[in-house]
């Protein structure tokens, strides 16, 4: 597995008490230093034109001016500094690198992981929110579609928060599938089961809002019975995983119960799906705010691609999870 990384992403300074701070990337690097087979690559920042393919030009101009003026609190949670503009373009550029590399890597396939920050999946077309400024996964998706490297892209978001921004960008599109497993009722309180897309995008949004306390068995069941069938039916050229690690049982800001091994198991499931449909696969970092658990989660993804076989248990999903998945399958005719 290759990791996209740039020191420029450390220049987005949110303050040491902010949960989304540069120490997240430092912790990941320390964790990966203990593993073998880790390769790093740099990437060019996304251009303004590539960002404007997803975001409103007026918003992009406003953000650039805000950062040029020294930054500050864009909203109570989303903080910008003098380095945020370059970091945000770089983070989007790393996601582009991951998508492009996955599609044209060695033997036509590679598995890259973009370690960028600020994260992106809450950024809507005309605003920053939830620690996010540019929607990295969406920019990467639009880029490979515009370049003709892919005709159809699926985005699977396992961050504990629903990726409202990614959903908004592609909600009326038939060439992008967005699937999310997230904690019900958590910020930003979007991603209801019946949000399935509109117009040409009807049926291309898949939301699984799991109850607080859901763990490995619930996530794996949701993938096996809903996410995987949706991806297989959609038959994408590329699957991007919006990989947040804040559903970990020891993450400080969620109530989910996913284990480190659970992330390895989810990675293995998604790899099997992409192999089944012959799609490329790329990972883009989203959230994760316990430094040790974030580093461990990323390392589990790497080790799974490096040949380690994940070990599961025999736990069953909760009845509530089974009921939710059954309702979604009926709704989407999976």
Name the CATH superfamily for 2-332. Answer: Histone deacetylase domain (3.40.800.20)
pLDDT in tens, 255-314: 999 999 999 999 999 999 999 999 999 999 999 999 999 999 999 999 999 999 999 888
**The Cα angle at residue 9 between residues 145 and 167, in degrees rounded to 5:** 40
8 Å CB contact between 138 and 165: yes
| Active-site position among 12, 55, 121, 122 | 122
161 catalytically annotated: no
Return the domain boundaries, the chain. Answer: 2-332
Closest among 289, 309, 220, 252 to 28, alpha carbons compared: 289
Residues 44, 48, 49, 51: is their CA dihedral positive or negative?
A: positive
Spatial separation of the C-alpha atoms in residues 137 and 151, rounded to whole Å: 16
Residues in contact with 226: Cβ distance below 8 Å, sequence separation at least 6, in sequence order: 179, 206, 208, 325, 328, 329, 334
Residues 9, 15, 21, 23: is their CA dihedral positive or negative?
A: positive
pLDDT in tens, 212-271: 999 999 999 999 999 999 999 999 999 999 999 999 999 999 999 999 999 999 999 999
pLDDT in tens, 271-280: 999 999 999 9
Closest among 176, 230, 171, 211 to 195, alpha carbons compared: 171
pLDDT value for 108: 46
Closest among 205, 225, 250 to 324, alpha carbons compared: 225
């Amino acid at each position: 597995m290759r990791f996209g990384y740039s020191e420029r992403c450390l220049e987005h300074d949110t303050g040491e008490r902010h949960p989304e701070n540069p120490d997240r990337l430092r912790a990941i690097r320390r964790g990966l230093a203990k593993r073998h087979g880790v390769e790093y690559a740099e990437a060019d920042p996304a251009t303004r034109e590539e960002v404007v393919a997803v975001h409103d030009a007026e918003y992009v101009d406003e953000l650039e001016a805000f950062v040029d003026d020294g930054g500050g609190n864009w909203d109570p949670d989303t903080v910008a500094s003098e380095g945020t503009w370059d970091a945000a373009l770089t983070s989007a550029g790393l996601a582009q690198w991951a998508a492009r590399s996955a599609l044209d890597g060695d033997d036509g396939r590679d598995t890259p992981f973009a370690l960028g920050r600020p994260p992106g999946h809450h950024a809507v077309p005309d605003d920053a929110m939830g620690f996010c400024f540019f929607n990295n996964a969406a920019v990467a998706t639009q880029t490979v579609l515009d370049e003709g490297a892919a005709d159809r892209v699926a985005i699977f978001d396992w961050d504990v928060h629903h990726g409202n921004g990614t959903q908004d960008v592609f909600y009326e599109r038939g060439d992008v599938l967005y699937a999310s497993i997230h904690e019900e009722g958590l910020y930003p309180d979007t991603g209801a089961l019946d949000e399935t897309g509109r117009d040409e995008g009807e049926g291309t949004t898949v939301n699984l809002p799991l109850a607080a306390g859901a763990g490995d068995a619930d996530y794996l069941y949701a993938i096996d019975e809903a996410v995987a069938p949706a991806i297989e039916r959609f038959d994408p050229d590329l699957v991007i995983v919006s990989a947040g690690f804040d559903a970990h049982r020891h993450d400080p800001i969620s109530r989910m119960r996913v284990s480190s091994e659970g992330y390895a198991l989810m990675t293995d499931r998604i790899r099997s799906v992409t192999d089944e449909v012959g799609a490329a696969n790329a990972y883009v970092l989203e959230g994760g705010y316990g430094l040790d658990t974030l580093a461990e989660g990323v390392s589990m993804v790497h080790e799974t691609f490096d040949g380690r076989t994940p070990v599961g248990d025999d736990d069953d999903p909760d009845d509530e999870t089974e009921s939710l998945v059954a309702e979604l399958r009926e709704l989407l005719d999976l």
